[in-house]
Amino acid sequence: METPSAPVDRVVVGGIGASVHLAVTGQRAGELAASLRTLWSRCLDPAQGVDAGRLDLHLDDALPTQPAASRTHSTLAGADLGALLTAATQAVTYALIQAQIGNLLLLHACALSNPDTGRGLVCVAAGGTGKTTLTRTFGTRYGYLTDETVAIDGDRILPYPKPLSVRDPGAPTKSEHAPDALGLRAPRPHQEQHVGRLVLLDRDDTHAGAPEVTELGLFDAISGLAEQSSSLYRLPHALHACRDLIDATGPVLSVRYREAASLQPLVADLIGTPS
């Protein structure tokens, strides 16, 4: 594989209070940089935050189709633009999380907020269990904060409005889509986002009827959050932080449901209906 040459372009993307410097190289660097700016339009030029390092992205027809990642995830190179963009999203997310482990409560979760109030709904769930679908279902009306990684400082959500990986009809693999292209609403500029409620999602294809909502006791709630946070033990006073957050926002809810749309009354009840 060629050694990436000097960067042709640089793109800085950020989220969860950190930023990654993308160094774009290769024969098709211009095309790659333009795609990155479109997909990451809501994460460009982040405010000063934690430096999550540099990621080299190299798009060149002379390379194999599937992007190859170095052991450190710091270089991705390939000939397929779509595959490279998907790999870049994963690598950026990984770098941001690594930079904020021990600083923030990090959860596998999606988050939406009421643009009128900045009151956010954090829906915690494992990968592949409905976070992106829920985000797309309600994100046209509520502000899109993230579909994958929610970072919380006290009760404040640090947004990460990243591209969404969505499977196009008939396509064998997922591809990256900008939140704007999916019609997702943005929160108000400079509006602080706060946790309104934490919800543990339990999507069940066999569930019938209205969503089943259960208030969890404190220890069950923290156990559920811990299952979807690989770094909880690295956060100082993590259990106290979780307890304080739950005390401030109300009992964590476990929600068993089948179709995301059926959650509409619950979402409206928890964070209000946007004007």
Partner 1 sequence: MRVRTKPYADLIDEGGETLLLRSEGGLIRLGPVGAAIVELSANTIDLDALACALERRFGSPDGISAIAAVDAMARELAEQDVVELGEDPAGRPAWGDHPHWRIRHDAAFTQTTPDRVVVLPLRRPGESPRALLGSGAAIWRVLVGGGADLRPWVPEATVLAAVASAHGETVESIRDDTLAFLRHLAEDGLLDVREA
According to DSSP, the residues that pair with 203 across neighbouring strands are 257
Of 93, 218, 114, 100, nearest in space to 151 by CA:
100
Residue 107 sits in the site that holds partner 1 (CB under 8 A): no
Beta bridge partners of 122: 111, 198
Lookup result for tokens 């040459």: 5
Say whether residue 98 binds partner 1 (CB under 8 A). Answer: no
The answer to whether 237 contacts partner 1 (rule: CB under 8 A) is yes
Angle at alpha carbon of residue 238, lines to 237 and 241, rounded to 5°: 85
- Nearest CB to partner 1, comparing residues 156 and 243: 243
Q: Does 222 bind partner 1 (CB under 8 A)?
A: yes
Q: Segment near partner 1 (CB under 8 A), from 13-21, 29-37, 49-57, 216-224?
A: 216-224
Pick one of 37, 218, 256, 268: the residue that binds partner 1 (CB under 8 A): 218
Question: Out of 207, 243, 256, 258, which residue is the one contacting partner 1 (CB under 8 A)?
Answer: 243
Are residues 56 and 23 in contact, defined by beta-carbon separation less than 8 angstroms?
yes
The span from the CA of 184 to the CA of 110, in Å, is 13
101 binds partner 1 per the rule CB under 8 A: no
Q: Binding to partner 1 by residue 223, rule CB under 8 A?
A: yes
Contact, 159 vs 118, CB < 8 A? no
Please pick, from the candidates 61, 240, 261, 273, the single residue that binds partner 1 as defined by CB under 8 A.
240
Of residues 192 and 219, the one with the C-beta less far from partner 1: 219
Q: What angle do CA 123, 272, 121 make, to 5 degrees?
A: 15
Rounded least distance, CB 175 to partner 1, Å: 34
Distance CA 262, CA 55 (A): 40
Size of the site for partner 1 (CB under 8 A): 14
* Closer Cβ to partner 1, 116 or 227, answer by number: 227
